[in-house]
Amino acid sequence: MTGLLHHFALNAKTRTGLSLGVIAWTIVASISIVAAIGFLLFAAFVVITQRYDAVTAGLAFGSFFFVIAIIAIAACLTTRRHNIERARLELASRSSAGLFDPSLLALGLQIGRAIGWQRLASVAAAGILAAGLAREWTGRDQAQSKSDPQK
């Protein structure tokens, strides 16, 4: 089982490029950029207070960050709407493809060749039998609960 997990981890690493080192350096860079922005904002505040008073500087910075927040909220809502629409389209395309998706058919052929068609047919027959029995038992339970209202 660890081989399968290792395979998935390597597959994810090739797609994203993430590792502990990348995450650690990203955290260091994020903390550094926040500190740099903080110092630059403080220096800008000091410059504005020297030219104007502290209330004007506070109002200028407050309105600046308020406008940035409004723009960020609008971008967030637009991105959210776009992601929802893209997911709906993808779900619709997947549901329309169904079992006739070429990748699923190719996967089925590979499984059939690897396991053997006779074994695969017996497993499929057992699965269909189990599904039929399960449907029969759940149908009987539902019929009993409908006919016996005191339960």
Q: What is the pLDDT of residues 76-90, one digit of tens each?
A: 899 999 888 888 887
Based on its alpha-carbon atoms, the radius of gyration of the chain, rounded to whole angstroms, reads 30
Q: At what angle do helices 117-147 and 102-115 cross, to 10 degrees?
A: 110
Residues 33, 39: Cα–Cα separation, whole Å: 10
CB 111 within 8 A of CB 120: yes
C-alpha dist (Å) from residue 139 to 133, 142, 148: 10, 5, 14
Q: Which residue has the higher pLDDT, 53 or 20?
A: 53
pLDDT digits (tens, 9 = 90+) for 3-37: 777 777 777 777 777 778 888 988 999 999 999 99
Six-digit token pair at 87? 């997911």
CA distance 102 to 104: 5
Residue 120 class from Cβ within 10 Å (0-12 exposed, 13-18 middle, 19+ buried)?
A: middle
